[in-house]
């Protein structure tokens, strides 16, 4: 029997027992047209990432960020769930998935119909005021940004985290808008570099993993502590770990099963094997 076929059979047996915690990364969304940094379709970062400290400390940094993000949102906002997202949602409806921890900020798990989703790094579809903490839809901000910049147009390579690579000349003149309620600075409701994930959210993710019968990692290279810590937790508790990813990961030595394969086709196969309906 081909090694991949045997691995999928083992994966089906593991997931079929239920109580599965899913940890997803950028590799799950590449088939939706959202690039990643480390996978086979990844691209090198072409712009320095925005840090929380720069964002709150510099009006010019905020102008640069929102100009780039305004362009990038056109691709992120139009992205649709792929077969992998739909498969995870189908497994949840079947009662096999106990919870989903995603490192992604694209909202595609929820768009596919998944319900028990914890967005570890937040979501680009929301905006938060740093003064009054009110959260508003990103679509409303995009409407306001367009109204404030009716003649502004730019294009650039889209980064995986939803911003575009723009020149200083392209950014110049872009008008940023503030909170309509208190006039405070607006920030996407995501975790920037230099910013910590709220401890209650991290604890909630650990609880999902600790209460699972198995951990299924999908499309994450596990090269940074953000995701790897949950694999380490599962390993410490003796919870079986299955990893489906294109390319090696930082958690392979802890895994019970690793499968280097395309996510959409593999998870669709898994759903078919397990008879999960409404796919």
The reply to whether 134 and 70 lie within a common domain is: yes
The reply to whether 69 and 85 lie within a common domain is: no
Q: Is 104 annotated as a binding residue?
A: yes
The reply to whether 116 and 182 lie within a common domain is: no
Q: Is 221 annotated as a binding residue?
A: yes
The reply to whether 52 and 25 lie within a common domain is: no
Q: What is the mean pLDDT of residues 93-111?
A: 97
Q: Is 100 annotated as a binding residue?
A: no
Is residue 39 included in any domain, yes or no?
A: no
Q: Is 122 annotated as a binding residue?
A: no
8 A C-beta contact, residue 141 and residue 46: no
Is residue 112 included in any domain, yes or no?
A: yes
- Of 32-36, 107-111, 166-170, which has the strongest mean pLDDT? 107-111
What CATH number is attached to the domain comprising 101? 3.40.50.1220
The reply to whether 21 and 156 lie within a common domain is: no
Confidence at residue 153, expressed as pLDDT on a 0 to 100 scale:
86
Q: How far apart are the first and last CA of the chain?
A: 27
Q: Is 245 annotated as a binding residue?
A: yes
The reply to whether 115 and 207 lie within a common domain is: yes
**How large a percentage of the chain has pLDDT more than 70?**
91
- Catalytic positions: 121
Q: In terms of residue numbers, what domain contains 158?
A: 44-78+123-190
Contacts of 74 (CB under 8 A, 6+ apart): none
The reply to whether 160 and 255 lie within a common domain is: no
Q: What is the pTM of this model?
A: 0.91
């Amino acid at each position: 029997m081909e090694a991949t076929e045997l691995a999928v059979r083992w994966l089906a047996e593991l997931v079929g027992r239920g109580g599965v915690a899913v940890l997803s990364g950028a590799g799950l969304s590449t088939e939706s047209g959202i690039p990643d940094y480390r996978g086979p379709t990844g691209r090198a970062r072409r712009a320095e990432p925005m840090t929380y400290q720069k964002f709150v400390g510099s009006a010019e940094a905020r102008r640069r960020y929102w100009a780039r993000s305004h362009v990038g949102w056109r691709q992120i906002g139009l992205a649709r769930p792929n077969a992998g997202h739909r498969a995870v949602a189908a497994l949840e409806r079947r009662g096999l998935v106990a919870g989903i921890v995603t490192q992604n900020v694209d909202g595609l798990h929820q768009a596919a119909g998944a319900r028990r989703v914890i967005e570890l790094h937040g979501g680009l579809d929301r905006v938060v005021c740093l003064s009054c903490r009110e959260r508003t839809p990103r679509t409303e901000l995009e409407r306001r940004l367009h109204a404030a910049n009716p003649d502004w147009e730019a294009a650039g390579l889209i980064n995986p985290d939803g911003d575009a690579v723009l020149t200083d000349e392209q950014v110049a003149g872009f008008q940023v808008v503030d909170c309509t309620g208190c006039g405070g600075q607006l920030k996407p409701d995501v975790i920037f570099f230099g910013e910590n994930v709220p401890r209650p959210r991290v604890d909630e993710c650990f609880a999902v993993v600790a209460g699972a019968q198995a951990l299924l990692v999908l499309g994450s290279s596990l090269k940074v502590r953000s995701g790897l810590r949950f694999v380490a937790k599962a390993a410490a508790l003796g919870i079986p770990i299955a990893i489906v990813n294109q390319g090696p990961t930082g958690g392979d030595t802890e895994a019970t099963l690793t499968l280097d394969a395309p996510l959409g086709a593999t998870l669709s196969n898994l759903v078919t094997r397990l008879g999960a309906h409404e796919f």
